[in-house]
Structure 1
Amino acid sequence: MTAEVHNGMSAADLAGVAWRKSARSGALGNCVELAALIDGSVAMRNSRFPEGPALVYTRAEIAAFVAGARDGEFDDLVG
């Protein structure tokens, strides 16, 4: 990585990280991608705009989100 990691930074500045998306993602490229960062945080980007902004979360924040998704806390957002 060539820049200090912060929310809203260009995902292009996170060179060398391994971005990955869910196997449930659609074929149209409308996916959220995640990457583990060297400092232990997790970056998130929109696959339609791979050089756009990246949101950076702590592992605890990602764990809380995933737990909520598993528990159905966001089901009302997808119809």
Structure 2
Amino acid sequence: MNAYNGIPATELGDVTWQKSRRSNSIGNCVEMARLSDGSIAVRNSRFPDGPALIYTQAEINALILGAKDGDFDNLLG
């Protein structure tokens, strides 16, 4: 499979989507899945059949570690 940015999430096959424990009951959350090539797919849980964005492991590391460091605290509502 050649995953690309904007690929329909349904075309990614049998992947295991994971969302944050902080997700609310109406599904407002981002979900992530590890793909067979080691990249990470990201989708909007409200539109599970919609497009998925594909990131490298290094890009996801930078995002998660930056969030842990507070780099995005200014975006909290």
Shorter-chain TM range is: over 0.9
How many residues matched?
A: 77
TM-score by length of 2: 0.96
Residue from 64, 68, 75 that aligns with 1:66: 64
The two structures have a TM-score, normalised by structure 1, of: 0.93
Unaligned runs of 5+ in 1: none
CA apart distance, 1:22: 0.7
Identify unmatched segments of 5+ residues in structure 2: none
Q: Provide the identity percentage.
A: 58
Once the two structures are superposed, residues 22-67 of structure 1 have per-residue CA deviations (whole angstroms, 9 ceiling, x without a partner) of 1111111111000000000000000000010000000000000001
Moved beyond 6 Å, runs of 4+? none
| Superposition RMSD in Å | 0.8
Distance 1:50 1:4 in 2: 19
Which residue is 2:53 aligned to? 55
